[in-house]
Amino acid sequence: KQEVTQIPAALSVPEGENLVLNCSFTDSAIYNLQWFRQDPGKGLTSLLLIQSSQREQTSGRLNASLDKSSGRSTLYIAASQPGDSATYLCAVSPDYGQNFVFGPGTRLSVLP
Amino acid sequence: DGGITQSPKYLFRKEGQNVTLSCEQNLNHDAMYWYRQDPGQGLRLIYYSQIVNDFQKGDIAEGYSVSREKKESFPLTVTSAQKNPTAFYLCASTGGDTGELFFGEGSRLTVL
């Protein structure tokens, strides 16, 4: 059974720092890995999707990498801002249209 | 704008009552999902549907029921058999070329 973990559980950094969030999964037979952002009391917003054949995806200050063989993904946030404060979750799916398994999330606080 | 609409945003229920949460999408996605989120826990899958008139139980289906009569709609009923229904409920869908997962804004159910 697929299990997804995220380290650290919480992170507090001063504004302007570059940071890395980690996601690990136990079964490397994945179709997609997706990173989400969740603000308190809100739904999840998709940040980046990495398909199994890809190694990384970039969007603005965000870069996500995928190493399927080691079961790891990282989300790199450059020049962090207070508006980046949120919970970040990663999720993997075994095939197109199949259920996504979620990690518990990393709660990020960026201090002004 | 394409998206997923969940209603109501907040719902209060007395013990012993059934309630139905609505989920509508106009993304033309085939697969739809219901997740439950509790404080300090990750998302857990309740039910999912990959096609009209078909759905599968997730990890925590007991006390819940769903229907999928139309592609756009995937309502969730929380029955009186659900022992601890107070939670944040999230509806999602996947489709398109990549199978990217999109979420609605969520419905918060409180049992009084």
**pLDDT tens for each residue of B78-98:** 999 898 999 999 999 998 888
Chain B residues touching chain A at CB-CB below 8 Å = 6, 30-31, 33, 35, 41-43, 45, 48, 50, 58, 88, 90, 92, 94-95, 98-106, 108
pLDDT of residue A21: 97
> How far apart, in whole angstroms, are the C-alpha atoms of residue A49 and residue A33?
6
B108: closest chain A residue by CA: A41
**For the residues B36-49, what does the mean pLDDT come to?**
91
d(CA B11, CA B15): 13
Cβ-defined contact of B31 to A105 (cutoff 8 Å): no
In the block, tokens 């993997």 appear at: A92
- Look over chain A and give the mean of its residue pLDDT values, rounded to a whole number: 95
CA-CA-CA-CA torsion sign (A37, A25, A109, A65):
negative
Percent of the residues in chain B that have a pLDDT greater than 70, as a whole number: 99
C-alpha dihedral (A11, A12, A16, A17), degrees to nearest 10: -50
- The predicted-structure confidence for B99-111, as pLDDT tens digits, reads as follows 899 999 999 999 9
Q: Inter-chain contact B103–A43, Cβ cutoff 8 Å?
A: yes
Q: Which residues of chain A approach chain B closer than 8 Å at the C-beta?
A: 4, 31-32, 34, 36, 41-46, 49, 51, 89, 91, 93, 96-97, 99-100, 102-105
What pLDDT is stored for residue B59 in this prediction?
92
Q: Is the dihedral of CA A65, A67, A68, A70 positive or negative?
A: negative
Half-sphere CA count of A77, side-chain side, radius 13 A? 26
> For residue B1, what pLDDT band results from cuts at 50, 70 and 90?
low
**Cα(A21)–Cα(A75) distance, rounded to whole angstroms?**
5
Higher pLDDT, A69 or B39: A69
- Residue A68 CA to residue A93 CA, distance in Å, equals 12
Task: Give the span between the Cα atoms of A101 and A19, in whole angstroms.
Answer: 24
Q: Are strands A72-77 and A56-59 parallel, antiparallel or unpaired?
A: unpaired
Q: How far from A19 is each of A11, A12, A81, B53, CA to CA, in Å?
A: 9, 10, 11, 45
Nearest to A97 among B6, B30, B42 (CB): B30
